Chain A
Amino acid sequence: MDRTKWYVLTVGLLIGAIAVTLVKLGNPPNMGFCIACFERDMAGAIGLHRAGVVQYMRPEIIGLVLGALLASLFAGEFKSRGGSATFVRFILGVFMMIGALVFLGCPLRDVLRMAGGDYNAVVGFIGFIFGVGTGVFFLKRGFNLGRAEYSHSQGGGLALPLIMVFFLFLLLKATVFNPDAGGPLFFSAEGPGSMYAPLAFSLGAGLLVGILAQRVRLCLSGGIRDFMLIRDNTLLLGFIGIFAGALLLNIALGFFQTGFAPQPVAHTMHLWNFLGLYLVGMTATLLGGCPLRQLILSGEGDTDAAAVVVGMIVGAAFCHNFMLASGAMKAAAAGAAASPGGPGIYGQIACIVGIIVVAAIGFAFRED
């Protein structure tokens, strides 16, 4: 195995271990990192949706973008660029979030959930592989969203990182504009949004992982895609590293618990676990990267990736405002029956519509 591969594997192990450490420090279970969940919490924090249990300005996301910015600046790779079907990418971002919230996690959280013993995540993972496979089918047919251009100004590429700095400022300053209704930031009093590691750790973890992921070009959909397309397993080793790192630490800390139920922030509707991540896998492959990779690219000055990130945040608001997101399973409690969780009818329809729309984009953007 050459040096690059060892490097990617090591970075994966480290990210897996950092993720479990964040859970130990207060993040929701099996959610040390979840790009989709955390962007959803951010959408709630700025009031784009008012689902009271999932509102928090996640410092991990801010750190990931700023870490990638720093790493790319030092490496001379920061370059403002964009113009490759930007609005189509925004729409794909919306649907990528819908898929993720039907499953209850992005591909990164899927790996972390599998490493926590959650069998539902294995069902999702199979869906993800099929989704990436469908994306590869479109790529082989000549799918292309077009060329991006380098900009004469670096301003555009700095826009999303600066928005993240502003979010961090709001979080640190904790100003309240409206004493009655709250805001500009909203915070959960209960539920996953109320569970978080101390700010300094979350931000530091985000920065570190942002730097590492930028250097090794870590991408979860890319790992499977490259293996399918060119039998290259470099990025796949990152995937395996995250799994192994999280698994070891989960066992060591007593977080490891196998089965379909009970599992934290998860549901047992197999079809929708499969189709949710199927939609994410297909969309991520057409976009050239998973939700994590989109954050990293937007830190490097890629404004098309920034459009995907904003699309995902807007998509998260749709998910909670229109009842598309899945509910998590609940154990029976006083006065309430147990619930297996899962998407309601609107979420199921949105997921199917997403698969159809993304496939239509896959067919429509065929070159030559």
Chain B
Amino acid sequence: MKKYWRAYLISLQETLQRRSSLVMDRLGGIAVMLSLYYFWKTLLLGRTSFLGYSYSQMLTYVLGMNILRSFALTGRGWELVGEISSGKISSYLVRPLSYHGYALALDLSQKTVHLFAAFFEIGALLIFFHPPFYWPKSILSLFLFAGALLTASLLFFFLEFIVSSLAFWTSESGGPLFFFELFIQFAAGAFFPLDVLPRFLQKVLSLSPFPYLVFLPINIYLGRVGEGRAFQDLLISFVWTAVFGATSVYVWRKGLLSYSAEGG
């Protein structure tokens, strides 16, 4: 375990060292958050609720998206693609190290930095704009939200790992990763709550793992999902995570086989 903890720390240092990329990244996130904030604020003008969301719930959804985007939807997909296609993964493969564990440690360190930044940004927004903010009714739903957040970030890690691993077979795996990043924001509810979509699309998405990334965690926080139902959702989310975790290990092994057959 110690090696992965070291990897976490070293990556934390490097992320903090790259201040300008971090700031740019955060500015992009803030722009998305602010535009969605004003969009919903205008839309809800003169209404008390919309699609079953109260005014404060909807604005909290937007702020919550910033947390989820920062913790669950950030990853090292592009780095992984680069390391596979440039052959840099060789330097990990010759060392006594599990690449999965190593990548997860690096991923978590990035998420840590982004999560802190997101809290800071939301804090600033609360102080300067005084939006109506929804506080959960019970401690339990806060815990359930924390659980859903952690599971979501693991689930995203595995999904992104699978898509990035395509780099083992094609030099053009940037394409699928780009599509994946955009699609997942839509399908997870990171642009708008999924209730906005037509019923049948909602139905289709509910059968997929994507809503467990953003939409469901926030809905648990907002108390729009009963606690019993929240437990059930959390369980399904675990199952999805396990399924994609196993798939990512399988794909990685296959990829390594092809890598060691073809060279890199």
Bind each other? no
Query: What residues make up the interface of A, taking CB atoms closer than 8 Å to B?
Result: none
Query: What residues make up the interface of B, taking CB atoms closer than 8 Å to A?
Result: none
